[in-house]
Chains A and B, each alone.
Chain A
Amino acid sequence: MPSIRVPSALRTFTGGLADIETAATTVREAITDLDTRHPGIAARILDGSGAVKPFIRVFVGPDDIGELSGLDTKIGERDEVSIVPAIAGGTGA
């Protein structure tokens, strides 16, 4: 079953879970499924038009979905969808 790797910064939405299995067959379905189970997380990944926010990249394995079929990229049984946000930090806070 495919899995979604939730970045550390967004695990407040998943109760700390890092890897979440999904029955989805595309990246879009995977994010929808993730949001159904962990409401609010999709709004941190997608903008109001449903596109991936500019400061977030989504990969299937090592491949950027922007080079594939975007959110319609198909995912297979053994694929891992990674959500990688731009982050800052290290001196402040």
Chain B
Amino acid sequence: MTHAPVRATIVGAGGLGGPIALSLGAAGIELTIFDHDVVELSNLHRQIQFTAADLGQPKATRLAGLVVSRGGNARGVVAKWRSPAELAAELAGYIDESDLIVDGSDDPETKFAVADWAVANGRQYVIAAALRYGGNVMAGVPGVACYRCLFEEPTSDGPTCADAGVLGPVVGAIGGAAAAIALGLVHGHRGLAGALLAFDDLREVAEPRIVRFAPRPGCTACLRAPIPPFATHLRIAGDR
């Protein structure tokens, strides 16, 4: 008896997308990798999946090629989205190839677009972000509070890598955590769904703080969800 392969879409092929794609690809998940950038010299200290030989090449196809070279199944999509709507339109073409979607992008609007798309299409998803010495990972499944319940809307006022920077190894750690959680979702482990893992400063503490949040009344993403979030949520055993 054989099982249909699990298929995942990864948005972002950089510092976070690299470890996510390599981990999921090595685990036998079929990948579609979206990115719209090319490899630059300034990327290499933290996007360690790339080498100088990749400079100027599209990240999506180079990362997909690396996954394939390690025995995985992946293809890169050099996407052109410039807005959340355009990204949603591009993702729509791959809906049948996405049991799971993982965001490793570097801008807030893309993260919201990925989460909204996953909620609207009833897909599991993981949103990963890294900044300075830490980062956040959030896992979502149909029926729980979503990323937009948590942070409501993107902003240009929040801290970015441009003003705060990011330590190279941090993206590897956050990407690895996102991949582990994604694999957990694939195998039915939903204990972290609807929770945010906040890694504050990986130079000092490797363990994340885990916080949970409730569905937000009036959340525009949840209103479009095929399975709306439950009115209550579970707390982690042992909390307070």
Interface residues of chain A, those whose CB is within 8 Å of chain B, are 5, 7-10, 12, 18, 44, 53-57, 59, 61-64, 66-67, 82, 84-93
**Given contacts A54-B153, A57-B151, A92-B161, is CB(A87)–CB(B104) below 8 Å?**
no
Shortest C-beta distance, B88 to chain A (Å), equals 18
B129: contacting residue among A44, A59, A86, A93, CB under 8 A: A86
CB contacts under 8 Å to A, within B166-218, are 166, 171, 174-175, 196, 198, 200-201, 209-214, 216
Shortest C-beta distance, B43 to chain A (Å), equals 7
Cβ contacts A to B, 23 pairs, < 8 Å: A7-B134, A8-B164, A18-B200, A57-B211, A86-B154, A86-B158, A87-B131, A87-B158, A88-B107, A88-B111, A89-B106, A89-B131, A90-B15, A90-B17, A90-B104, A90-B105, A90-B130, A91-B13, A91-B15, A91-B16, A91-B47, A91-B106, A93-B160
Shortest C-beta distance, A62 to chain B (Å), equals 5
User: Does any Cβ of A come within 8 Å of B37's Cβ?
Assistant: yes
State the CA gap A59–B240 with chains docked (Å).
12
In the complex the two chains form, is A9's CB within 8 Å of B155's CB? no
B224: A residues at CB distance < 8 A: none
B108: contacting residue among A55, A61, A64, CB under 8 A: A55
**Given contacts A55-B108, A59-B211, is CB(A88)–CB(B129) below 8 Å?**
yes
A64: B residues at CB distance < 8 A: 211-214
